[in-house]
């Protein structure tokens, strides 16, 4: 009966975690999956979250179903965070938000809604991108293509090619954009470049779909929302898939949201209906625990401020690990090969190492990067950064194998 079933090739990111956990070498370092580790190498429980947990626990509500669109306070808090307090676009009723199963769930619900109404559209993701975007949009039935984003030779954004590709797209093409902390390159567009993309989207009648998983890890909570806010202000219809996995360190709670910014309040109502309809047909309604925690933090002014300072702390540590790593590499006379890391933001950057070099790092030095050469800075700390630098230097001097 099930003879046509196929094996699932290991996910390049998730398959690394069990391999890392099974590695018994004491000096192993996990620079693979996007989990934020603190200076002690631990996954933190943020003090704001800890306090919210106590608050929720004392309220001790029975566990009923949430509505299909999720917890209303949570949805309100999401809109404030995405668009800023007292945003006129939100106040005008043109924005609809539902709670989703992480950012991934938001991308998928959005993809399903778009597929129903734009069945002929093609989806365009950046080259390179977080590979799961391809799987999500393909599973929703779309043809997925890649727009140029990164030049591996100059190790910088190829903005000219990006613009010329977007100019050639058919109207109503869906363009998936990383709002900040581009995964995997860590290279983000400047404000001026975003403004150009925004005009282009309007001229060519494209549908921007923001993937926003790292708010606060780039330049700051408000700064990282620039592209989304700029498009919303200019009345550009768009979708936003955001996630709280990283900035609340609540990976297992699967807390995200999907937002439609619409031209009119009536259309926003209809976008809401489409999203809810899609949720019902997929999983009925989201889980409540994580949403209660996040709403409790974001809607309490003291906890909210505390959380902002915690996010600032995580961002500052990520940035400082970049600098320390590049300085250590420079002492090894390899600074020039890795200088581009200083331009990157968020959790990740592409080191430029190839899959063979990544394998050597893993096998000989117990240092785990994704095969693409993506390095997650949060796994670095004062104890391991020198050893990581010297290992990177060692493998990068090996002759590059002919593939
Ligand atoms: C990552 O890119 O490492 C994270 O976003 C985890 C994932 O889902 O791939």
What's the mean pLDDT in 97-123? 98
**DSSP code for 340:** G
How many whole angstroms from 160 Cα to the centroid of ligand 1? 28
Provide the β-strand partners of residue 177: 210
pLDDT score for 61: 77
**What is the average per-residue pLDDT within 27-40?**
97
Kind of pairing, strands 123-127 and 95-101?
unpaired
Compute the mean pLDDT over every residue in the chain, rounded to the nearest whole number. Answer: 96
> How much of the chain exceeds pLDDT 70, in percent?
99
Which two structure tokens, joined as six digits, stand for 78? 């999401």
Catalytic residue among 112, 115, 130, 188: 130
Q: What is the pTM of this model?
A: 0.96
From 35, 130, 186, 349, give the residue whose CB has the most ligand 1 atoms within 8 Å, as the site to mutate: 130
Whether 211 sits among the annotated catalytic residues: the reply is yes
Reported as a pLDDT band with limits 50, 70 and 90, residue 398 is low
Residue nearest to atom 2 of ligand 1 (CA): 34
Extract the tokens encoding 77: 């808090």
Encoding tokens for residue 356? 């063979």
Per-residue pLDDT at 401: 47
Examine residue 184 and say whether the peptide bond preceding it is cis (omega within 30 degrees of 0): yes
């Amino acid at each position: 009966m099930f003879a046509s079933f196929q094996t699932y090739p290991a996910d390049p990111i998730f398959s690394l975690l069990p391999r890392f956990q099974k590695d018994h070498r004491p000096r192993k370092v996990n620079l693979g999956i996007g989990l934020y580790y603190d200076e002690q190498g631990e996954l933190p429980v943020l003090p704001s979250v800890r306090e919210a947990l106590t608050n929720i626990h004392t309220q001790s509500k029975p566990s009923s179903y949430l509505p299909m669109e999720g917890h209303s306070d949570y949805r309100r808090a999401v809109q404030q965070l995405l668009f800023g307090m007292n945003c006129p676009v939100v106040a005008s009723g043109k924005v609809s938000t539902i709670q989703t199963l992480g950012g991934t769930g938001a991308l998928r619900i959005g993809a399903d809604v778009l597929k129903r109404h734009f069945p002929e559209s093609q989806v365009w993701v950046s080259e390179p991108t977080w590979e799961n975007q391809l799987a999500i949009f393909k599973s929703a039935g779309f043809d997925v293509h890649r727009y140029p984003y990164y030049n591996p030779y100059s190790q910088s954004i190829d903005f000219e090619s990006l613009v010329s590709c977007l100019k050639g797209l058919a109207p109503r093409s869906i363009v998936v954009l990383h709002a900040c902390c581009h995964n995997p390159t860590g290279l983000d567009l400047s404000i001026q470049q975003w403004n150009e993309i925004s005009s282009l989207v309007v001229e060519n009648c494209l549908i921007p779909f923001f993937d926003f998983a790292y708010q606060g890890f780039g330049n700051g909570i408000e700064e990282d929302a620039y592209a989304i806010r700029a498009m919303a202000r200019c009345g550009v219809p768009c979708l936003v898939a955001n996630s709280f996995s990283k900035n609340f360190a609540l990976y297992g709670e699967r807390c995200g949201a999907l937002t439609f910014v619409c031209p009119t309040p009536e259309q926003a109502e209809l976008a809401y209906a489409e999203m809810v309809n899609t949720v019902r047909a997929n999983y009925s309604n989201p889980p409540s625990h994580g949403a209660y925690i996040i709403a409790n933090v974001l809607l309490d002014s003291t906890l909210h401020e505390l959380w902002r300072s915690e996010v600032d702390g995580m961002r500052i540590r990520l940035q400082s690990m970049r600098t320390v790593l590049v300085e250590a590499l420079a002492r090894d006379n390899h600074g020039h090969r890795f200088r581009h890391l200083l331009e990157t933001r968020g959790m990740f950057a592409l080191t430029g190492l190839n899959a063979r070099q990544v394998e050597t790092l893993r096998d000989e030095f117990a240092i785990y990067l994704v095969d693409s050469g993506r390095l997650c800075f949060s796994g670095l700390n004062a104890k391991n950064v020198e050893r990581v630098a010297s290992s990177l230097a060692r493998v990068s001097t090996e002759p590059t194998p002919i593939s």
